[in-house]
Amino acid sequence: MGPDPGTAHRAPARGADHHGQAPGAPATVRPAAMSEELSAAERAELDWLRRENHLLRVQKEMLLRIATEYALEQRTDEPAENR
């Protein structure tokens, strides 16, 4: 099951918390039609999406660190006349 197509999606701000809100940012205002509480299925999907986002952020950070380390190793391995 994917996200609701009527939901507006945006990338969370850098430094955003696990809810996608930047620290100190005002709470997201939901349209009147969406002001009712989440159903059990919606809550389960939201929890799953938050866990998946966390996992993807961890994987992205790991890959960034690995790529940076590899690039630095390549840079120090090349002879000085090629720099």
Residue 83 and residue 75: Cα distance in Å, rounded? 8
Total domains, the chain: 1
| Domain contains 29 | no
| Domain contains 70 | yes
| Domain contains 44 | yes
| Domain contains 27 | no
| Domain contains 76 | yes
Q: Indicate the pTM of the whole model.
A: 0.49
* Residue 75 structural domain: 39-82
* pLDDT per position as a tens digit, 19-76: 555 556 556 555 555 668 999 999 999 999 999 999 999 999 999 999 999 999 998 8
| Domain contains 61 | yes
How many angstroms separate the Cα of 62 from the Cα of each of 7, 27, 29, 47, 69?
30, 30, 33, 23, 11
| Domain contains 46 | yes
